[in-house]
A = this chain, B = another copy of it.
Amino acid sequence: MRQAGRYLPEYREVRKQAGDFLSLCKNPELACLVTLQPLERFDLDAAIIFSDILTIPDAMGLGLTLEEGIGPRFNSPLRAATDIEKLPEVDVEAQLNYVMQAIALARHELAGRAPLIGFSGSPWTLATYMVEGGSSREFRHVKGMMHDQPGSADLLMQKLTQSVNDYLCAQVAAGAQSLMIFDTWGGVLAEPDYVRFSLEPMTRIVQSLKSNEATSDTPITLFTKGGGNWLEMIAASGCDAIGLDWTVSLSSARSRIGHLVALQGNMDPSVLYASSDKVANEAIRILDDYGEGGGHVFNLGHGIHPGIEPDRVRVLVDTVHQESAR
């Protein structure tokens, strides 16, 4: 996740060239270029397409701006029931064609060196930004809608579920070989609300992709940040892997859910601020915590912070390879 990004000087160079963040996402050549940058530097086992989780709400016409230091803003947040009713479905092939082009280019450039991962934000996570109008701490408006206008909230989730499903199908058609759904804000919900508004929409997407011949073989990873309480339920969604943040111990996750799905994770990205020795030690601790056998996809538990020294990422990647071989 965010393996391309602000911690790499060559990324900052391209970003300057592109102008703002959204222009970079919408430029397939440059998006492909920054997708591949981390693989030029480090011995990574996969590439993830460079994009933003908010491409779908942007295509729905909410007027997205992404300003440095401020974060995402929508000019027209959804508040009234009529806002939700009027919300158009996304024609992903037409409106998000820039993402498909970037995927096709990156897949071509990778030429089999490493598989390419596509992704989307989860319906619930997209809804939080669309209803709040940006980032939030209290989620006042979207939780208010969930509680007081559950019909509107359900309709919004239906529309987003359809669009995310179409989006992920199109990404596979364009060349994505594995899919991730990032549920950044599922962990702010009470359990029954998580099940209804976050997990069920993701489950519908997983089951639709699995029953579609074109996508049935594509591995799907679900990542709910702060979802450690709900691993058994997430594993039952039909997904192939669960992404874990660093608050969950891999060994206890494994003992809770057995070998039903693979586990991806889970180093705290803040460890990369520490010395090289400590980064290596922590990687080894996590590999040992997972223990013997297959089914572990080593990853950070969330995105790389912009202040990280790129060399620490090299230490991490090399340690994981050496120790896994051992």
Binding site for B on A (CB under 8 A): 138-140, 143-144, 147-148, 187-194, 226, 228-229, 246-249, 252, 266-271, 273-275, 278, 282, 285, 305, 307
Contact = CB atoms under 8 A, between A and B. Distances in A.
Contact of A247 (B189, B267, B273): B189
A271 B229 contact: no
Given A226-B226, A270-B138, A194 B247 contact: yes
B246 A190 contact: yes
Contact of A274 (B144, B192, B249): B144
Given A143-B274, A147-B282, A187-B226, 9 more contacts: A138-B305, A143-B270, A144-B273, A147-B274, A189-B247, A191-B247, A192-B285, A193-B268, A229-B247
Contacts of A192: 285
A229 B248 CA distance: 7
Given A140-B305, A307-B140, A275 B148 contact: yes
Interface majority SS on A: helix, strand, loop or mixed? Answer: helix
Question: Which 7 A/B pairs are nearest by Cβ-Cβ distance?
Answer: A147-B274, A143-B270, A190-B246, A228-B229, A191-B249, A147-B278, A144-B273
A109 to B, nearest CB: 32
A191 B248 contact: yes
Contacts of A143: 268, 270-271, 273-274
A289 to B, nearest CB: 8
Nearest to A194: B247
With a 10 A CB-CB cut-off, give which of A189, A190, A249, A267 has the most chain B CB atoms. Answer: A190
A230 to B, nearest CB: 8
A188 B148 CA distance: 31
Contacts of A266: 190
11 contacts: A138-B305, A140-B270, A143-B271, A143-B273, A147-B278, A190-B268, A191-B247, A192-B285, A194-B247, A229-B229, A229-B249
Contacts of A273: 140, 143-144, 147
